[in-house]
Amino acid sequence: MKILQLCKKFPYPLKDGESIAVTHLSRALRELGCEVTLLSMNTSKHFCNINELPASYNHYKRIHTVDVDNRIQPWGAFLNLFSSTSYHVSRFITKEFKAKLIYLLKTEEYDIIQLETVYLAPYIPIIREYTDAPVVMRAHNVEHEIWERVASNSNFLKRNYLNYLTTQLKRYEIEQLQNYDLLVAITKRDLELFRKLGYKNKAIVTPVGIEQEKYKPNYASFRKAPSISFIGALDWMPNQDGLKWFVQEVWPSLHKKHPTLELHIAGRHTPKDILNFNIPNVEVHGEVPDAKDFINQHSIMIVPLLSGSGIRVKILEGMALGRVVVTTSVGMEGIDARNGKEIMIADSVKAFMDCIHTCVQHQKRLQKVGRQARQLIEQEFDNIEIATQLAGAYQKLIKKDTQEHPSPISNPS
């Protein structure tokens, strides 16, 4: 099976959920015998020098990139106030990417065209013009839902502006729903929401798979004094908002109650205001060389998300490493874990205080929760098993497409 995978940013390094989700799936599909070609935007925000990719990043048959300047331009954002086009989406529409896509579709035949996120949907008309291959949308999130939640947690002026942008994005996301031959949702909840919004075609739920052999829990860290970690892409607004809420609202009381407890913060593209935190027992590391090693050093991991959608890959990584993850109901979405068994859920200052206090006071319980978290990942998020289910759906889709668009057969002479 030959797959052309389109991405809005290059899926390396593996330091954010989208890059991990894209890479883990494409690796698994390769292991299953699929031939995957990557066409990716190489954006100014997440630029990657592909000449410096490690030798182990070898799962793609071919890699093609197009440089894209997707920086938010104040003038462009202002003009968009008078446009019906989604500003979120318009930043990823370029004639260079279109030209490269046309070239690939004219020079190679593919069985599946896999789009990673709705931001690639503007290119569907081009795909339809140059190939009969089925179009698959892999929806990492319900995109407009993220921004609805961010807006609801913002101040008055910011909330009004974000609500305007979100309305445009929601309209676009709904308009595109009937243009997919197959919708690949990350969670059952997301698929149900897409159905409510009007999606009628074929769909499958395939969560982010975890390459479990690459996640080795360090249970020895449970034998030392508990400490807390936070790690996430800190150029993503929901991560920033959640972290600042925790530091401002939860940490002062928590530090007073447990004066020796430490909070360690790591994240790619950490903004200056977070780097300059001057808070007792809070250490900001910025980008760390090895996320797994950083997570493994601390027995407790917090993911205080107030907004977001889809599934939080960092939570899956923390659970795969046997950490005790304390998160919100929003963070929990898409993960069928039990509160107090494989994860801890907290939706208020008091709840976070209570959960972390329990962790500090009952260290033996920590390791049990961590081991149960790891078991859940092994049972529900195996990368190869998830890719196998998706590959099966692709085979059915290809068979159906072949029946509806048979190749012309010449009459015998």
- 173-207 pLDDT, tens digit per residue, is 999 999 999 999 999 999 999 999 999 999 999 99
CA 170 distance to own-chain centroid:
19
Does the pLDDT of residue 75 top 80, yes or no?
A: no
Instruction: Provide the pLDDT for residue 84.
Output: 63
pLDDT band at 307, cuts 50/70/90?
A: confident
The mean per-residue pLDDT over the stretch 10-26 comes to: 93
Nearest to 298 by CA among 266, 340, 339: 266
Express each pLDDT in 80-129 by its tens digit: 655 667 778 888 999 999 999 999 999 999 999 999 999 999 999 999 99
CATH assignment, 2-209+382-404 = 3.40.50.2000
Percent of the chain with pLDDT over 70: 94
Q: Is the pLDDT of residue 27 over 80?
A: yes
How confident is the model at residue 411, as a pLDDT?
A: 40
Mean of all residue pLDDT scores within the chain: 91
* pLDDT at residue 412 in the model: 38
* Beta strands, E only, 32-109: 35-43, 62-68
Asked if residue 350 has pLDDT above 60, the reply is: yes
pLDDT at 77 over 70: no
Angstrom CA distances, 192 to 98, 198, 264, stand at 32, 10, 37
Instruction: Let me know if the fold of 2-209+382-404 is the same as that of 213-380.
Output: yes
Structure confidence at residue 221 (pLDDT)? 87
Q: Please, are residues 60 and 37 in contact by the beta-carbon 8 Å criterion?
A: yes
310 pLDDT exceeds 90?
A: no
Residue 409 has a pLDDT of 43
CATH superfamily ID and name for 213-380: Glycogen Phosphorylase B; (3.40.50.2000)
What is the average per-residue pLDDT within 236-242?
90
Whether the ω angle into residue 252 lies within 30 degrees of 0, i.e. cis, is no
> What local confidence, expressed as pLDDT, does residue 156 receive?
73
Long-range contacts of the stretch 273-278 (C-beta < 8 A, 24+): 274/234, 274/240, 274/243, 274/244, 277/247
Give me Rg for the CA atoms of the chain: 22
Instruction: State residue 249 phi and psi, 5-degree precision.
Output: -100, -35
Residue 292 has pLDDT above 90, yes or no: yes
Closest CA to 303 of 344, 249, 361, 354: 344
pLDDT confidence band for 266 (50 / 70 / 90): very high
Q: In this predicted model, which residue has the larger pLDDT, 76 or 40?
A: 40
| Local confidence band at 13 (pLDDT 50, 70, 90 cut-offs) | very high
What pLDDT band is residue 384 in, cutting at 50, 70 and 90? very high
The number of helix segments (H) and strand segments (E) in the chain equals 17, 13
Domain ranges of the chain: 2-209+382-404, 213-380
Which pLDDT belongs to residue 106? Answer: 97
